[in-house]
Every structure is written in C-alpha cells, then in structure tokens.
C-alpha cells in the first residue's frame, strides 16, 4: 500500500504523516514526531530546540555567578560588621 505524497512523512515516504512540525511545517509520521506539551516537532527541529535550551541554561548560569559573588561579599561584610560591633560592646561596655 502506498501513501499519497500529500500525506506521506518527510523522512519515511511509505508512512502516513500524523502531524506537522510547528517549526518547519514538515509532515511527520509517528516515529519522527516528538510532542512537547501537545505540540509536534520533527527530529531536526526538536534537536535545535534542545540545543538552544541548553545554551540558554548555560548563559543563565554564567550570568548568575556575579550575583552570587555579590551576595557572598555582602554577607561577609555584614558578618564582619557584626563581629566588630560585638567586640566593641565587650571592650567598651556602657559606651552608648
């Protein structure tokens, strides 16, 4: 049994397409489709989407490093201030 060209999978011409990729609009069969939240992606577009997500996650991690360093420095400064204040209270009681 041959499948009409209009309803054939892009990668498997002898198989019937069950969906269309939302990115490239290619017709895809059940073996080629990847559904994410009910949305169809072909293998190539899904790989690009996954690669883009990985790069974005990596960029977010790199961007958050300076913020973490700033928070650590602020915490160390606060701790040093409290330590000096406590030592002054012990060394100079009744100074306030």
Give the confidence band of 73 by pLDDT, cuts at 50, 70, 90: very high
What is the extent of the structural domain holding 58? Answer: 5-91
Q: How distant, in Å, are the alpha carbons of 6, 50, 51, 57, 71 from that of 62?
A: 46, 19, 17, 9, 15
* Structural domains counted in the chain: 1
The pTM assigned to this predicted structure is 0.50
Give the confidence band of 68 by pLDDT, cuts at 50, 70, 90: confident
- Assess if residue 96 is contained within a domain: no
Give the confidence band of 96 by pLDDT, cuts at 50, 70, 90: low
Task: Tell me the per-residue pLDDT of 18-45, one tens digit each, with 9 for 90 and over.
Answer: 999 999 999 999 999 989 888 899 999 9
Scan for tokens 């700033």, then name that residue. Answer: 70
Cα gap 19→91, rounded to integer Å: 78
Average pLDDT along the chain: 86
Helix (H, G, I), strand (E, B) or coil at 18: coil
């Amino acid at each position: 049994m041959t499948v009409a060209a209009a309803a054939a999978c892009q990668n498997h011409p002898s198989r019937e397409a069950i969906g269309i990729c939302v990115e490239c609009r290619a017709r895809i069969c059940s073996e080629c489709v990847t559904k994410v939240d009910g949305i169809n992606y072909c293998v190539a577009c899904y790989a690009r989407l996954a690669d883009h997500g990985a790069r974005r996650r990596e960029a977010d991690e790199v961007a958050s490093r300076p913020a973490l360093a700033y928070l650590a420095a602020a915490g160390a400064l606060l701790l040093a201030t409290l330590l000096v204040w406590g030592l002054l209270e012990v060394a100079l009681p009744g100074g306030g």
